[in-house]
Amino acid sequence: MLTRYSIKFGIINKKINGGKMSKLILTIILLVFVGTIASAQMRMNPADRAKQLGETLKLNNDQVKKVEALFTKQQDQFSQLMSGGDFRNEETRNKMNELREESNKEIMKILNAKQKAEYKKILDEQKKRMEERRQNRDN
């Protein structure tokens, strides 16, 4: 039963059943918002990924083009793996990790010593974040 409306933090909060419904609605909105942002980041195309890495590592144009070609190849390989439909199984995840490692080795061949050191830091940070997410998911 709808008893009253109140505005909190710019959101209309319907007081229904002691506020349970409003909490559910806000939770759903938050999940949709977070999911949209995450999927947008995952869909970054190879050219944008190469450009971003180029800005971070101060790559020259030739290096950016080579990295973009590697990212394009990697994306094609990922698409082939995921076209099977079962991309959550361990075997597919392992293949994807192998492809990532292979791409990272190829990228390292393109970089100078200073860029390699910075790229290694980036990879280490990514690995640390993935391990934290995995631990949080398991808990």
Please give the chain's pLDDT, 139 residues, in tens.
444 444 444 444 444 445 566 666 766 775 665 555 444 445 789 999 999 999 999 999 999 999 999 999 999 988 888 777 666 778 888 888 899 999 999 999 999 999 999 999 999 999 999 889 888 887 6
The residue ranges of every structural domain in the chain are 2-40, 45-138
* Pick from 116, 40, 104: nearest CA to 73: 104
pTM: 0.64
